[in-house]
Each structure stands twice: as structure tokens, then as C-alpha cells.
């Protein structure tokens, strides 16, 4: 077949008269020149292939002119002296991306026979593509290759046919492009299983004459009846597809002669209303087969396919009827391409709402397909098919695809291959180059793992590097075995700390490690106390979780306290807004201006005295504040009795608006800041600021500024902090020290 630029132009003109024809002829000339001395297996000039692919892109997928150009140029980077930079110079970055995308896809070959591998491979193809047009061009490319498969040697024919059936036809199906999907399937089937295909096709031929007569009769009758219903429609017999019949014989494990829906007709109407009218007519004249009616108009298939399906008994034989509108039919045939209306820049009506909406629903459905993406809305902003952002697809040296979570490393890969490969991993090569173990894998990487017999097992640091839960679990399990004693010790310590943090009783604490406690642990379904400690130490389980199971009351109380405290806090905040200033009653002075002294910072519950200042009202100090001593001796008569207004402070027991600084001294141990912070938080108190330092004597000094309501709450808090293992002192700091 000879194709000319004019053929491509006229195909485009039929749906996009505003196309950039100038650009297309430039791409045409560039590609023609680049391929000029190359020939296909058929002996024809190579350029015939890109030309044909461009024609498919235009006439069968009706894509924009950029896609048509990219189709013309799709093989130049791989096969000629032109590189991606040249393309970008000549046609701009978008074209370079499209051509680059197709070139990249050309380099991956599917070689593994398993179905799971095929699924991963399909996902990977999409993952490697950030513009769906790349896939569409690739499908057009594959379609032309399949159409000209006869020129290749049989081994290659089989390989390409298999890859097409397992990878490209399902992709076309997913994208809803049935027209291309069917042709890919039917042709590949003939090459891959010639005997089967012949058997089925022969059968269809032989029963065909009879079938054709029935179909012709049915179509005439339906046409008559539709007229009575005032429905205008175009009718056709449904093409029979050998490959789908073959699949049905496999699926139902039955012979071809027992499958009964070969006879099919299609009714295309102008409106949805007419679809249902036509359905009513069909069901009126012929008896429907129960369970065969499907309303894909009301509930479209994930790939946006819409149609009514029913089967009726016609002349004693089952007849399948598909009814849909012309628009639905276009979607059924062209799929995503029907929606992907790439209007030219500056062209008319390129952003009308329904189009955009449909585009989005395509993306949404694609997303549902991969089921991995949680928040689709963000993705909707872009017109990219970056669907598999949470996974990365890489190859083994043998070409098998491995799916891993995003941010995975060669270590994750190694553990996916085999646990022992993970344990003995000492290095990795990506695409032949040595990389560090913390290297983040990228789509399409070929990963080979270097192992060593002398490598005993994973390093603890790996836990910080790896990205997959699977690798983490395997590393932890190994470490737990190897460092069991160490983990038991650290786990026991963590357990005790958590128990104390949650305010557990000292009496109960004494029981830990006794046989009776061990028995209790087993009653709760844990293998043994040591095992529990080892698990905590290894980071498999959190101490608080175990305590929550063993002492449900303790956890419950803490949770209640936290909820209560939060409630109190919001109530208090409301109250505080209503009443300003300290709640202090000054003896004998009405409406005195009161200031809380900063030097000792008294809080409700502290014994206090007032000091009358000149022009600044009454300053309130703690009774034992050293400053008041000097003040008192200075001028006795300026000291005044003050007391807390308990009527109000009673109400605001617990946390409140008084800021207090506390200091906690600890033995120098990791995690102390965390433990003390938890105790404070568990009491429902706000921490305003916190600091930690270590003295030369290896004493840890932690300081917190917290909000409390009165001294009682503060004292309780200090008591609880003192109970923590490792805490040597806990006290209030009055002055800035
Ligand atoms: Mn090609």
C-alpha cells in the first residue's frame, strides 16, 4: 500500500480542519529523509511504516497533529542519526517527550510467560509513560507491525503475537479502544495458534451461511418493527471474533459447537431514549433469555463502555442484541481516543466543560484500575497519566518485572527475590553500574544484586534505608534472632517505661518477670514474656500496644484523661476569654490593678502576698519569694494581704493559664525527653517549650515550660515524673535561672 502525505492530511481534515498541517509536512519530510536508506523485512522502504502508523493515529484514533507528527517520527531516534535533542530543536519539547516516550517503550520487551508478570508489565508500561498519547502511538505502531507480521520469520512472529495478546491488546481494551483491540487479538491469534484459529474460523464459515441468512432475516424484521416504534437506527450484524470465542471455550471448558452467542446484531440509535425503546421492541417480539440482559448505559463498564445487551430466542436460536447510541458506539470503538480530543492550540472550543469532564472520568477509571492511588483529585489537575506514582517497576537481569513500593532500594529488590538474597546482599548494579545500597530504584532499571557468602546478615542501618514493609519485616525477623538477648533487655526497658508513663502502679510493676506474670502474658496469647520483650526491642510491636492488651484499664484511663483534658482545655479557653486577669482577691482594696510577679511566678494554690507599687497597682509574689523579704523590711506598710479567688480557681482545676517552668534531672539516657513529654501530655497539660542538655557529669537536664491551673496539678505531675526510671530530680523553677 502506498500512502501519501495527502492521505494523512485528508484523514485529519475530516475531524480537525485547524490542524497544524505545516508542522506535519515538516515532520513528514524529516522522517522520510532520515529513513531514506532503510528497508523493512518486506523489502519496502522503511518510511512506509511510520507513514502507516501516522495514518492509523489520524484515521483510526483521530488524535491531534502533534501525535500525528510524533507517529511519523517515532522510529527516527532509535534507527537513525537524529536524536531527541534534534527533535526538540526542530519541533519543541512536547514533541521530544512524545517521541522519547515511544522510543523508551520500544526498548522494553516482555519475555516472561506468567500472567502476573504480564499484568505488572502492563502497569509498568503505563508507569513509564506520562502522556497517554505515547501509549496510543505505541498501539498504532503495534497495529501496523501486526498487519505486516507475515514478512517476519516464524520465531519472531510468535514472539510478537504473544506480546501483543498479553500486553498490547489488554492495554487497548483498558483504554476502551475495541476496534484496535479486536484486530490485535484476531491477527495475533492466527500467528500464535494457527490450528486453533483455523478450526474456529472454519466452523464459523460453515455455520456462517446459515447464520448469515438468519441475521439478514432478523435485521429486516427489526427494521420494520423499529419504524412502528418511530425509532430511526442503523443496524448491522455483529462481527464474529475467533479469539473471543476461543477464550470462551477455555473459560467454560466447552466445545465450540455448544457456545451459542455467535449470532449477534447491533442497533445504533440517535438517543438514549431510543435505545430503551428499541430494547422494549426487541423484548416485545422475541422472548428474552433470563439473566442475559445487561444495562451498561445506566452502569457503564470501567473503561466507559456503554450499551444495552440482551439475548433473545430468534427462530429457536439465541440471538445477542447490542443497543447503543452512535456516540456510545464511537466510545466503544475508539475508547480513550474518543475522549482525548486534543484540540490545536488556538483552535476552537478546546476547553468546553463536558469534554474535560469526560477526560477526567477516563483518568478516574484508569486509576480505579490500578487501585493504588488514594487521592485522585490531585491527579485530576493534570492531563498526565502519572498513575503509578506509588510504585516502581524494575527488571531482574532475566527480564522479569518486579513491582515495588516507590522509594524502594536494591535491598528491597533483593528481599523480593529471596530472603537469603536479601540477607547476603552486599551491593547492587543498576543497568550494569555499581550503585550504593540506598539508591532509589527507578522505573525500568535492570537490577542485579551482588551477594557474598561471608555476609552474615542484614545491617541494622538497613531498616532506615528500605522502602518496603516486606524487607523491613524480614530484616527485623533476622535481627531479632541474632540479637535476641540484647532485644529482650531493651524491650523490657521500653515496656517498663511505657508502663510508668501510663501511670501504672508500682505494686504491679514488681510482678513483672515473676512466673505468675509470665502466665498472664501467655493467657493473653503471647508466646512468652521474653518473646514479647524481644518483639518490642526489635521494633515489631510497640510497648504501649502490649500494655494496652495486658492492662486495658490503664490505656483506657489514659485515653479518657486525654479526652477529658482536651475538653477541659477548650472549655477553659472559652472561660479565659470571658474573664481576664488573675483571679486574686485583694484585702480591702476595690478594683485594684493586679500583676503577677515574674520573679517567682505564683500559681493558684501557692501562698501569696501582695506588694503595693507606686502607680502600678498590686504585685503578687509567693510568700517565700526572697524578693518580698527585702521589700518587706524596706517598707512594711506596703505589704497587703491577698488570696486566690478559689471560687473561680476551683472551677478551673487542672490545666490553666499559668505558665510554670519545671526542670527534670536524669541519668544520661536516650529517650528521656520523650518519656517525660509523654507523662506531661498524658496529664493533659500543654507544653509551651522544652529543652534538653547534658552536663559534663553526664546528667541530663530537661526543662519544660508548661501551662497549669494550680499547684496541686503541678505537684501531681512532678510526682509522676519522678517515678520514671532514670529520673533523679523533678522540680519547679521559679526564677529565670
Ligand atoms: Mn515502529
| Residue 636 DSSP code | G
CB proximity list for 79: less than 8 A, separation 6 or greater? 34, 35, 38, 46
Please report which confidence band the pLDDT of residue 122 belongs to, taking 50, 70 and 90 as the band edges. Answer: low
Residue 665, beta-bridge partner list: 701, 729
Helix (H) or strand (E) holding 68: helix 65-73
Read off the pLDDT of residues 651-679 as tens digits, 9 standing for 90 and up.
444 445 678 889 999 886 677 888 888 88
Tens of pLDDT, residues 379-390 = 332 323 334 445
**C-alpha 139 – ligand 1 centre gap (Å):** 10
Q: 163 C-alpha vs ligand 1 centroid, how far in Å?
A: 15
Q: Tens digit of pLDDT for each residue in 150-198?
A: 988 988 899 899 889 888 888 888 777 888 999 999 999 999 999 989 9
Choosing from 33, 78, 315, 461, the catalytic residue is 78
Query: Can you give the pLDDT at residue 573?
Result: 66
Q: How confident is the model at residue 24 (pLDDT cuts 50, 70, 90)?
A: very high
Nearest to 106 by CA among 71, 73, 150, 75: 75
- Ranked by mean pLDDT, the top range of 300-304, 452-456, 694-698 is 452-456
Best mean pLDDT range from 135-139, 378-382, 680-684: 135-139
Residue 71 C-alpha to ligand 1 middle, in angstroms?
8
Q: Note the pLDDT tens digit of each residue in 700-717.
A: 888 888 888 788 888 889
340 alpha carbon to ligand 1 midpoint, in Å?
A: 22
pLDDT at 352: 38
Low-confidence winner among 412-416, 490-494, 566-570 (lowest mean pLDDT): 566-570
Whole-number pLDDT of residue 355: 45
Query: Mean pLDDT across the stretch 86-92?
Result: 93
Is residue 257 flagged as an active site residue? no
Q: Where are the alpha helices (DSSP H) in 128-271?
A: 132-147, 154-163, 169-174, 178-192, 194-228, 242-251
Output 191-196 pairs: Cβ under 8 A, ≥24 positions apart: 191/149, 191/157, 191/158, 191/160, 191/161, 192/158, 192/161, 192/162, 192/165, 193/246, 196/246
Task: Give the residue among 411, 448, 416 at the shortest CA–CA distance from 430.
Answer: 448
Asked if residues 483 and 458 have their Cβ atoms less than 8 Å apart, the reply is: no
If you measure from the C-alpha of residue 75 to the centroid of ligand 1, how many angstroms do you get, rounded to a whole number? 5
Distance in angstroms between the alpha carbons of the first and the last residue of the chain? 93
Those residues with Cβ within 8 angstroms of residue 245's Cβ, 6 or more apart along the chain or in another chain: 200, 204, 256, 259, 262
Percentages helix, strand, coil for the chain (3-state, rounded to 5) are 50, 15, 30
The alpha carbon of 50 and the centre of ligand 1 are apart by a number of angstroms equal to 6
% the chain with pLDDT above 90: 23
Average pLDDT, the chain: 79
Residue 449 has what pLDDT? 94
Distance 229 CA to ligand 1 centre (A): 50
Looking at residue 126, its pLDDT comes to 64
594-596 and 618-622 strand pairing: parallel
Distance 72 CA to ligand 1 centre (A): 9
**Any catalytic annotation for residue 261?**
no
**Could you tell me how many helices (H) and strands (E) the chain has, helices first?**
33, 21
What's the CA-to-centroid distance between 197 and ligand 1, angstroms?
Answer: 27
445 pLDDT band (50/70/90 cuts)? confident
What confidence tens digit (pLDDT) does each residue in 233-289 have? 888 887 678 888 888 888 777 777 666 556 789 999 999 999 999 999 998 888 888
pLDDT class of 636 with cuts at 50, 70, 90: low
> Which one is predicted more confidently, 375 or 58?
58
More confident residue, 131 or 474: 474
How far apart are the CA of 145 and the centre of ligand 1, in A? 7
Instruction: State the DSSP code for 258.
Output: G
- In the set 7, 18, 44, 79, the catalytic residue is 79
By three-state DSSP, how is residue 348 classified?
Answer: coil
What per-residue confidence (pLDDT) applies to 549? Answer: 81
In angstroms, the CA 256 to CA 237 distance is 20
pLDDT for 482 beyond 80 = yes
CA of 479 to the centre of ligand 1 (A): 51
pLDDT of 9 reads: 93
pLDDT band at residue 345 using 50, 70 and 90 as cut-offs: very low
Q: What is the pLDDT of residue 143?
A: 96
Q: Which phi and psi (to 5°) does residue 427 adopt?
A: -175, 175
Amino acid at each position: 500500500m502506498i500512502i501519501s502525505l495527502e492521505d494523512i492530511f485528508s484523514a485529519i481534515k475530516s475531524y480537525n480542519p485547524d490542524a497544524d498541517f505545516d508542522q506535519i509536512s515538516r515532520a513528514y519530510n524529516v522522517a522520510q529523509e532520515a529513513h531514506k536508506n532503510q528497508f523493512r523485512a518486506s523489502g519496502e522502504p522503511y518510511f512506509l511504516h511510520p507513514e502507516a502508523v501516522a495514518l492509523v493515529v489520524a484515521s483510526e484514533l483521530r488524535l491531534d497533529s502533534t501525535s500525528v507528527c510524533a507517529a511519523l517520527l517515532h522510529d527516527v531516534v532509535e534507527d537513525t542519526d537524529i536524536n531527541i535533542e534534534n527533535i526538540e530543536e526542530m519541533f519543541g519539547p512536547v514533541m521530544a517527550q512524545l517521541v522519547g516516550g515511544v522510543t523508551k517503550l520500544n526498548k522494553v520487551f516482555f519475555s516472561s510467560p506468567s500472567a502476573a508478570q504480564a499484568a505488572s508489565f502492563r502497569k509498568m508500561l503505563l508507569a513509564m509513560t506520562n502522556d497517554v498519547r505515547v501509549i496510543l502511538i505505541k498501539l498504532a505502531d503495534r497495529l501496523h507491525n501486526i498487519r505486516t507480521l507475515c514478512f517476519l520469520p516464524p520465531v519472531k512472529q510468535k514472539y510478537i503475537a504473544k506480546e501483543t495478546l498479553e500486553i498490547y491488546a489488554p492495554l487497548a481494551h483498558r483504554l476502551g479502544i475495541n476496534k484496535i483491540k479486536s484486530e490485535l487479538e484476531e491477527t495475533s491469534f492466527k500467528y500464535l495458534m494457527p490450528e486453533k484459529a483455523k478450526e474456529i474460523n472454519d466452523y464459523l464459515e460453515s455455520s456462517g451461511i446459515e447464520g448469515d441468512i438468519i441475521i439478514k432475516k432478523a435485521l429486516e424484521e427489526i427494521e420494520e418493527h423499529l419504524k412502528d416504534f418511530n425509532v430511526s437506527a442503523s443496524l448491522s450484524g455483529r462481527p464474529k471474533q475467533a479469539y473471543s470465542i476461543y477464550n470462551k471455550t477455555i473459560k467454560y471448558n466447552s466445545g465450540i459447537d455448544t457456545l451459542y452467542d455467535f449470532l449477534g446484531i447491533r442497533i445504533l440509535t440517535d438517543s438514549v431514549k431510543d435505545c430503551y425503546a428499541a430494547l422494549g421492541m426487541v423484548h416485545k417480539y422475541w422472548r428474552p433469555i433470563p439473566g442475559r440482559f445487561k444495562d451498561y448505559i445506566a452502569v457503564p463498564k470501567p473503561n466507559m463502555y456503554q450499551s444495552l445487551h440482551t439475548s433473545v430466542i430468534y427462530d429457536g436460536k439465541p440471538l445477542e442484541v447490542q443497543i447503543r447510541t452512535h456516540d456510545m458506539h464511537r466510545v466503544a470503538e475508539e475508547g480513550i481516543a474518543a475522549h482525548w480530543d486534543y484540540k490545536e492550540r488556538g483552535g476552537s472550543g478546546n476547553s468546553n466543560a463536558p469534554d474535560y469532564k469526560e477526560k477526567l472520568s477516563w483518568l478516574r477509571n484508569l486509576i480505579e484500575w490500578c487501585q493504588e492511588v488514594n487521592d485522585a483529585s490531585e491527579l485530576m489537575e493534570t492531563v498526565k497519566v502519572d498513575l503509578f506514582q506509588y510504585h516502581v517497576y524494575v527488571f531482574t537481569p532475566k527480564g522479569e518485572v518486579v513491582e515495588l513500593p516507590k522509594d524502594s532500594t536494591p535491598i528491597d529488590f533483593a528481599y523480593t527475590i529471596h530472603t537469603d538474597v536479601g540477607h547476603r546482599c552486599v551491593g547492587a548494579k543498576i543497568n550494569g553500574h555499581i550503585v550504593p545500597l540506598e539508591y532509589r530504584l527507578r522505573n525500568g532499571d535492570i537490577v542485579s544484586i551482588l551477594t557474598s557468602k561471608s555476609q552474615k546478615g542484614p545491617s541494622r542501618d538497613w531498616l532506615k534505608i528500605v522502602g518496603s514493609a516486606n524487607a523491613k519485616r524480614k530484616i527485623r525477623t533476622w535481627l531479632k534472632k541474632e540479637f535476641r538477648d540484647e532485644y529482650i533487655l531493651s524491650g523490657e526497658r521500653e515496656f517498663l517505661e511505657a508502663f510508668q508513663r501510663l501511670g501504672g502502679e508500682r505494686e504491679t510493676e514488681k510482678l513483672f518477670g515473676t512466673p505468675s506474670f509470665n502466665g498472664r502474658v501467655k493467657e493473653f496469647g503471647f508466646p512468652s514474656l521474653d518473646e514479647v520483650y524481644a518483639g518490642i526491642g526489635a521494633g515489631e510491636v510497640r510497648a504501649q500496644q502490649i500494655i494496652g492488651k495486658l492492662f486495658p484499664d490503664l490505656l483506657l484511663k489514659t485515653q479518657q484523661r486525654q479526652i477529658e483534658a482536651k475538653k477541659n482545655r477548650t472549655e477553659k479557653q472559652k472561660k479565659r476569654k470571658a474573664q481576664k486577669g488573675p483571679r486574686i482577691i485583694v484585702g480591702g482594696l476595690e478594683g485594684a490593678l493586679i500583676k503577677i510577679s515574674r520573679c517567682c511566678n505564683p500559681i493558684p494554690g501557692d501562698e501569696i502576698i501582695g506588694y503595693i507599687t507606686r502607680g502600678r497597682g498590686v504585685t503578687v509574689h509567693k510568700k517565700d519569694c526572697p524578693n518580698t523579704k527585702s521589700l518587706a523590711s524596706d517598707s512594711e506598710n506596703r505589704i497587703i494581704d491577698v488570696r486566690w479567688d478559689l471560687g473561680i480557681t476551683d472551677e478551673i482545676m487542672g490545666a490553666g493559664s499559668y505558665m510554670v517552668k519545671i526542670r527534670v534531672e536524669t541519668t544520661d539516657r536516650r529517650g528521656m525527653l520523650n518519656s517525660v513529654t509523654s507523662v506531661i501530655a498524658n496529664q493533659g497539660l500543654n507544653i509551651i517549650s522544652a529543652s534538653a542538655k547534658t552536663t559534663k557529669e553526664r546528667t541530663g537536664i530537661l526543662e519544660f515550660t508548661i501551662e497549669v491551673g494550680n499547684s496541686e496539678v503541678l505537684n501531681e505531675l512532678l510526682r509522676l515524673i519522678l517515678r520514671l526510671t532514670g529520673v533523679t530530680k523533678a522540680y519547679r523553677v521559679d526564677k529565670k535561672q
